[in-house]
Amino acid sequence: MVLLIALLILALSFMAQLAFGAVMLNPLQVLRDGLREIFTATTGIARYRLERALAGVVVGASLALSGYLIQTTTRNPLGDPYLLGISSGALFAVVLTFALPASAITLFVVRPFAALIGGIIAYLLTLLIASKAGMTPTSIVLSGVAVGTFFYSASLFPQYFILRDIHKVFAWSMGSLVVVNLNKPIAIALVLTACTIYSCVSRNVLNALSISDDFVRDLGRDPSRERVILTAMAAVLASFCVAYFGVIGFVGLASPHFARRLLGSGDARYIIPLSLVFGASMLSLTDVVAKIVFYPIEVPVNVIVSLVGAPTLAAIMVGMRRHARG
Amino acid sequence: MLGVENLSVAYGKVNVIKGVSFELRPSLVALIGPNGSGKTTLLKAIAGMVPYSGEVLIDGINLRRIRVDRRTEYVTYVPPTISALPDMTIGDLLLSDSSADVALLERYVRIFGVERLLFRRIWEVSSGELERALLARGLARRSKVLLVDEPLSYTDVRYQLVVMRCLRRLANEGRVVVVASNQLNPLLNYVDRVLALKDGKLFINAPLKTGVDEDKLSELYGVKMKVITIDNIVDVVPVEEARG
């Protein structure tokens, strides 16, 4: 039931994504034209909107799944996709690319690739430190914070010395769904599909991980090994999102919480699909807001998602608590 | 039958279990010993949850030869507590076990009075209630060997008796049930045998009658212990040395 309502909200926000922009259009018309433009390989406003809407859905869902996996494996309700130092690693790599001559290749090929590699290297470093410290939830969180802080500070040096580009770095780190082509959402969608399938297959392990390592051993699995696999998936998902769309916060943190609060359960079977849908809706809806709030100027979606999302999460937490007390 | 041969466990350079051997028939066994003597580690090793040297045999089959995904048919370890992600409910906890017999689970949920807690979050229930839920989960498997860690520490007196009666029945049905606890009453009033660990070594391994020995227990805990019997109920109490 909750899932149905959530899907409805997602459909509505998807339509709103298609409808709103510099000009208001009929969403169904945009959908039809957009699909036609994609298949006939022509470019127009409909295609642009459709691609951006799709990007919102896959990125939102990916961040939500990534956040869920991090929260579960670290057993930390504050877990989000960037807890493992991924965003800082990507930021550092991106800052380095500003030393290259500004060309289309640098902008569209080298920079995303650098961000992806930077994010994954940061994750591997986190993993290396955590594994030396026993691969416990606490060791992962602490080494993630250490690696993240290190890369963030390291990225400040080049920023300080190449001052003329600082606004570009700043804009990149804000995260936004603009500058889209269809390859990006498709690449993320493929990774997302694979990770979702694996997560659903491992739902028993995920449930056990969110309760106690002893329960994972009960299933005959090694909790450290499962943590490596699941955090690796979270890291790859988040790195792809960061590489293509910059750092978009809050969706990964909040979506699993929304799902758990509304369901009154933490069972992976229900939380995974619901988090995906919530993440997708949240990012789509806030992107609509980002497009129209200071019309005709677009604000990076990252700014809006936290501004709108944080009070909503707070309201839900307070509301559920009151509800639980009766 | 549970056979343990020269079992040792080390965490890094610290030897926690130092070459323990014993053999247990289907029965209810108390595992006692001071804090840090290695009770939990011994149970986890027998359940295959921590790396060990030596051998564990269940019905003659070496634990190392049992496929990990079938291990719960042979042995179950019931932890005393957990550190779950908030928002998981008691219901999630109980259903997270795919090897549980659902009908049996429902029965234990009733016996341990957990049914009204199913939709409560884990951090909203008391330690005793959580302990009962963990017991219901563990007992709902049909493992040949049941290792129960500290089931009496948080439960109230009524449920202490409920728990011990349940474990007694399982032992009578042919299971090996080992209960680690220092709540000597009611523990000692239900068990057939007493195992005691001291500094990672087996200190007592005896049937109840000879196992409950004042001198041995005093040496085990490092305080003077006195065995008292009232209406056939045994208790072992520490006796403060006379002051002055």
pLDDT tens string A207-220:
999 988 888 888 87
Secondary structure percentages of chain A, helix, strand, coil, to 5: 80, 0, 20
Which CATH number belongs to the domain containing residue A38 in this structure? 1.10.3470.10
Q: What is the mean pLDDT of chain A?
A: 85
Name the residue among A75, A204, A264 with its Cβ closest to that of B96. A204
Nearest beta carbon to residue B85 from set A75, A214, A219: A75
3-state secondary structure of A21: coil
Tokens of A272: 């995974």
Chain A contact set for B89 (CB, 8 A): 264-266
**Contact between B83 and A257 using a beta-carbon 8 Å cutoff:** no
Q: Which of B86, B104, B16 is nearest to B54 (CA)?
A: B16
Measured in angstroms, the CA of A66 and the nearest CA of chain B are apart by 16
pLDDT of residue A60: 95
Contact residues of A toward B, CB < 8 A: 71-72, 75-77, 204, 207-208, 210-212, 214-215, 217-221, 257, 260-261, 264-267, 324
**pLDDT band of B4, cuts 50, 70, 90:** very high
Do the chains contact at A211 and B93, CB–CB below 8 Å? yes
Domain that holds residue A23: 2-325
In tens, the pLDDT along A91-109 reads 888 888 877 777 777 777 7
Q: Closest Cα partner for A66 from A85, A43, A82?
A: A82
Return the closest-CA partner of residue B208 out of B39, B30, B23. Answer: B30
Residue span of the structural domain in which B232 resides: 2-74+143-238
**Residue B143 CA: distances (Å) to CA of A138, A194, B70:** 32, 35, 10
Q: Which residue has the higher pLDDT, A163 or B170?
A: B170
B106 found inside a domain: no
Domain count, chain B: 1
User: Is residue B49 within 8 angstroms of chain A, CB to CB?
Assistant: yes
Contact between chains at B87 and A257 (C-beta distance less than 8 A): yes
Quick check: helix, strand or coil at residue A294? Answer: strand
94-113 of B, contacting A, C-beta below 8 A:
95-98
Asked if B203 and B32 touch (Cβ cutoff 8 Å), the reply is: no
Query: How many of the other CB atoms lie within 10 Å of CB of A160?
Result: 9
Whether residue A325 has pLDDT greater than 50: no
Mean pLDDT of chain B: 91
Nearest CA in chain B to A260: B87
Q: In this predicted model, what pLDDT tens digit does every residue of B136-185 receive, in sequence order? A: 999 998 899 999 999 999 999 999 999 999 999 999 999 999 999 999 99
Looking at residue A7, what DSSP letter applies? Answer: H
A76–B89 CB contact, under 8 Å: no
Q: Do B92 and A207 touch (CB under 8 A)?
A: yes
Instruction: Give the 3-state DSSP-derived string for chain B, with helices as H, strands as E and coil as C.
Output: CEEEEEEEEEECCEEEEEEEEEEECCEEEEEECCCCCCHHHHHHHHCCCCCCEEEEEECCEEHHHCCHHHHHHCEEEECCCCCCCCCCEHHHHHHCCCCCCHHHHHHHHHHCCCHHHCCCEHHHCCHHHHHHHHHHHHHCCCCCEEEEECCCCCCCHHHHHHHHHHHHHHHHCCCEEEEECCCHHHHCCCCCEEEEEECCEEEEEEEHHHHCCHHHHHHHHCCCEEEEEECCEEEEEECCCCCC
Structure letter (DSSP) for residue A227: H
Given a cut of 70, whether residue A141 has pLDDT beyond it is yes
Nearest by CB to A204, from B44, B77, B98: name it: B98
| Mean pLDDT on B177-196 | 95
Q: How many residue pairs bridge chain A and chain B with CB atoms within 8 Å of each other?
A: 73
Above 80 in pLDDT, residue A164?
Answer: no
What would the pLDDT profile of A247-266 be if each residue is shown by its tens digit?
A: 888 899 999 988 988 888 88
Rounded CA-CA distance B76/A234 in Å is 31
In A, minimum Cα distance to B47 occurs at A218
At residue B80, does pLDDT exceed 50? yes
B85 vs A210, A220, A324: nearest CB: A210
- Residue in A212, A217, A218 closest to B83 by CB: A212
DSSP code for A221: -
Contacts of A324 in chain B (CB under 8 A): 124
C-alpha–C-alpha distance, residues A292 and A20, integer Å: 7
* Per-residue pLDDT band at B242 (split at 50, 70, 90): low
Chain centroid, CA B115 distance in Å: 23
Asked whether residue B228 is assigned to any structural domain, the reply reads yes
Half-sphere exposure of B143 (CA within 13 A, CB side): 29
Residue B223 forms part of a structural domain: yes
In a domain, B99, yes or no: no
Domain-embedded: residue B232: yes
Number of structural domains found in chain A: 1
Contacts by residues B168-172 (CB-CB < 8 Å, ≥ 24 positions apart):
B168/B28, B170/B28, B170/B139, B170/B146, B171/B26, B171/B27, B171/B28
Cβ atoms of A174 and A290 closer than 8 Å: no
DSSP A106-175: IIIIIHHHHHHHHHHHHHHHHHHHHHHTTS-HHHHHHHHHHHHHHHHHHHHHHHHH-GGGHHHHHHHHH-
Q: Is the dihedral of CA A206, A209, A214, A220 positive or negative?
A: positive
Residue type, A40: T
Please indicate, yes or no, if residue B69 is contained in any of the structural domains: yes
* For B64, nearest residue in chain A (alpha carbons): A220
pLDDT at res. B148:
96
| Contact (Cβ atoms closer than 8 angstroms) between residue A195 and residue A63 | no
Say if the Cβ atoms of A266 and B85 lie within 8 Å. Answer: yes
How many other CB atoms are there within 10 angstroms of residue A137's CB atom? 20
> pLDDT tens digits for A27-54?
888 888 888 887 777 777 888 888 888 9
- Of A228-242, A299-313, B51-65, where does mean pLDDT reach its minimum? A299-313
Interchain proximity A218–B48, CB inside 8 Å: no
Q: Could you identify the residue written with the tokens 């049992």? A: B66
- All residues of chain A having their beta carbon less than 8 Å from the beta carbon of residue B48 are 217
**Domain-embedded: residue B190:** yes
Residue B41 in domain: yes
How distant is the Cα of A38 from the closest Cα of chain B, in angstroms? 43
B72 neighbors B99 (Cβ within 8 angstroms)? yes
Per-residue confidence (pLDDT) for residue B215, from 0 to 100 = 92
Mean pLDDT of A8-30: 83
For the residues A129-142, what does the mean pLDDT come to? Answer: 87
